[in-house]
A and B are shown apart, each in its own frame.
Chain A
Amino acid sequence: MNIVVCVKQVPDTTEVKLDPKTNTLIRKGVPSIINPDDKSGIESALRLKEKVGGEVTLLSMGPPQAEVALREGLAMGADKAILLSDRAFGGADTWATSSTLAAALKKLDYDVIIAGRQAIDGDTAQVGPQIAEHLEIPQVSYAEEINVEEGKVVVKRQFEDRYHIVEVNTPCLITSLSELAEPRYMSVKGTFDAYREKDVKVWGLDEIEDTVDKMNLGLKGSPTRVKKSFTKQAKGAGELLDDVTAEEAVEAIVTKLREKHII
């Protein structure tokens, strides 16, 4: 079974802080990581490979430095990696990103595509389903478990209040939750092999020209654009209620909870 895992390199947003003086993001020193949902997708692909054989290929779109994320995936045990990197792909929204990735996937031999549910920098959860649509294959998103039974892929699909145990024929696309599989560490051997024995292929526009309409790529191919971005208003000093009865206190809390749509 050949599996392609879509991987995004993201800034570790838990390490991002706001500069209290300028109220802007401090990006300096924020490490780049494999998006957590994608990393569990890699783990899950490796487990499937260990069970049923086949090859795991990583596919990413990003700037040249995203190569490091792919090397990390290779060090975990993936076999091949492709980085889509070209100025023509830059500034893409989810629609254009999924068009680009789908164009590359059309050139690959896959049974299952695994994409992380969402990236922690954008949190859109759109690219996976959009790739599936471009490729006209079924999708199962929010996967908490993936198994292969007699050539069919069986997925435990998470909803807020329930699970669906679904089976789907290949080829298909699955979006993985970070709880799908605790990612293994790279091995020491893996980190050295990732550079000395394995390769990250870089594909530009030339490599996918025949499987995509150029009008669907990059900024030009993006239906949406960011009009503006801003940081949230810094927290003002809170309210302190001294000398209130318990009832008054309860009322004040309930009012706040209602305002915040918590109740």
Chain B
Amino acid sequence: MDFKLPKEHLLAKKMFKDFAENEVKPIAAEIDEEERFPTETVEKLKKYGFMGIPMPKEYGGEGADTLAYVLSVEELAKVCLTTTTIYTAHTSLCSHPIYKYGTDEQKQKYLVPLCKGEKLGAFGLTEPSAGTDAAMQKTTAVKKGDHYVLNGSKIFITNSGHADVYIIIAMTDRSKGTKGCSAFIVESDFPGFTVGKKEKKMGIKGSSACELIFKNCIVPEENLLGKEGKGFKIAMQTLDVGRIGIAAQALGLAEGALEETVNYVNERKQFGRSIYKFQNTQFELADMRTKIEAAQLLVYKVARLKDDNLPYTTNAAMAKLYCSELASDVTRRCLQLFGGYGYTREYPIERMMRDAKITEIYEGTSEVQKMVIASSLK
């Protein structure tokens, strides 16, 4: 067992940290305040290769691996969860299923520009009445000649309105339940596809979450991803990968909150001494740091499992469950240590606390993770 990061990963981590500190952190509060999609950051993410980290070079990727990917998410999430939401949705939920299930033509046409950052990706599964219960999909795809016709809508879709390529799950045969789901690659300018209303969210305010509307949307048959009826499997497997990214987000967020807090409690004085000196502060910090250490091991381990082509579904669920609950817990406790200042927007801690909550919800709520974990114990 080797708990040391490999040298290339250490170097990559340094790059992620520099990038996060200099490019992402300075505008984190601003994009939250303005609920603005950080187009300028996305351009920089493209330039430095963030959009294709775990993808092979032959498809325009960076030729790195899942471990490097989670390190990037962890470092960026320390300063801005919104930013990581954008490129994890792109990478885990759009590029990954095309890489895994796409034909060579689909990879050339979609994966290459996605990895190079020429196109931004998104993933549409959730519907108003089909969240965790994904089999209740109402969006339908009917084959007509050489194309499919999609009808229905999706909600809460990350990167919606900004993405060029969407993976859309739709029912091709309702009678078969989950086995009647299929996955499609839909381009933003396909006829009959529009982006609807934008949600106003509690956190990750810079990322978009809109409704997708399909009204007789024409999708060429060659854009079917995998086979007909494989949509549910593709979606579930995609969420497995996605959970690794969310776990890394939550981990980074908790670490970032703790770093801010350590700085603060060393500077802030009450009763004539820095509040770090109080035992309550120290116990809180020690407890949180320990749990973060454990969380990190869960995340790095699942990344390694995936890189080694070993089963990782349960580990991904465990990492996501533990890290996201930790992120909520840590940010709340950190805010308490900040006291009144923590409640103001002068400090990032209130934003971090708002942002943390989503990690317990998206790509499977904590309860879903428990279902996944429990199913491995049968």
Contact = CB atoms under 8 A, between A and B. Distances in A.
* Real binding pair: yes
Contacts of B57: 189
B15 A75 contact: yes
Contacts of A193: 63
A29 to B, nearest CB: 13
Nearest to B57: A189
B18 interface: yes
A188 B68 contact: yes
B11 A188 contact: no
Interface string B1-44: 00000011001101100110000000000000000000000000
A68 interface: yes
Contacts of B15: 75, 185-188, 190-191
Contacts of B50: 188
B8 A195 contact: yes
B342 to A, nearest CB: 26
B48 A191 contact: no
Q: Which of A185, A186, A188, A192 has the most CB of B within 10 A?
A: A188
Contact of A189 (B18, B19, B49): B49
Contacts of A196: 8
A204 B18 CA distance: 32
A214 B219 CA distance: 74
A72 B14 contact: yes
A249 to B, nearest CB: 29
Contacts of B136: none
A194 interface: yes
A185 B18 contact: yes
A8 interface: no
A195 B68 CA distance: 14
A71 interface: yes
Range for the number of chain B residues in contact with chain A: 10 to 19
B11 A71 contact: yes
A75 B62 contact: no
B8 A187 contact: no
Interface string B232-244: 0000000000000
B247 interface: no
B53 interface: yes
Given A188-B49, A189-B63, A194-B11, 8 more contacts: A71-B11, A185-B19, A186-B12, A186-B15, A187-B15, A188-B15, A192-B68, A195-B11
A72 B11 contact: yes
B18 A192 contact: no
Range for the number of chain A residues in contact with chain B: 10 to 19
B62 A187 contact: yes
B8 A191 contact: yes
Contacts of A195: 7-8, 11
Interface in A179-233: 185-196
Interface string A116-145: 000000000000000000000000000000
Contacts of B64: 188-189, 191-192
B72 interface: yes
Given A72-B14, A75-B15, A188 B53 contact: yes
A189 B62 contact: yes
A190 B50 CA distance: 12
B11 A187 contact: no
Interface in A22-73: 68, 71-72
A54 B224 CA distance: 46
Nearest to A74: B11
A193 B11 CA distance: 11
A158 B31 CA distance: 38
Q: Which of B12, B18, B48, B72 has the most CB of A within 10 A?
A: B12
Contacts of A68: 11
B48 A187 contact: yes
28 contacts: A68-B11, A72-B11, A72-B14, A185-B18, A186-B11, A186-B12, A186-B14, A186-B15, A186-B48, A187-B49, A187-B62, A188-B68, A189-B62, A189-B63, A189-B64, A191-B11, A191-B12, A191-B15, A191-B64, A191-B68, A192-B8, A192-B12, A192-B63, A193-B63, A194-B8, A195-B7, A195-B8, A196-B8
A189 B14 CA distance: 14
B7 A188 contact: no
A75 B11 contact: yes
A194 B15 CA distance: 13
Interface string B54-79: 00010000111000100010000000
Contacts of A191: 8, 11-12, 15, 64, 68
Nearest to B44: A185
A196 B19 CA distance: 22
A189 B63 CA distance: 6
A15 B62 CA distance: 32
Contacts of B12: 186, 188, 191-192
A186 to B, nearest CB: 4
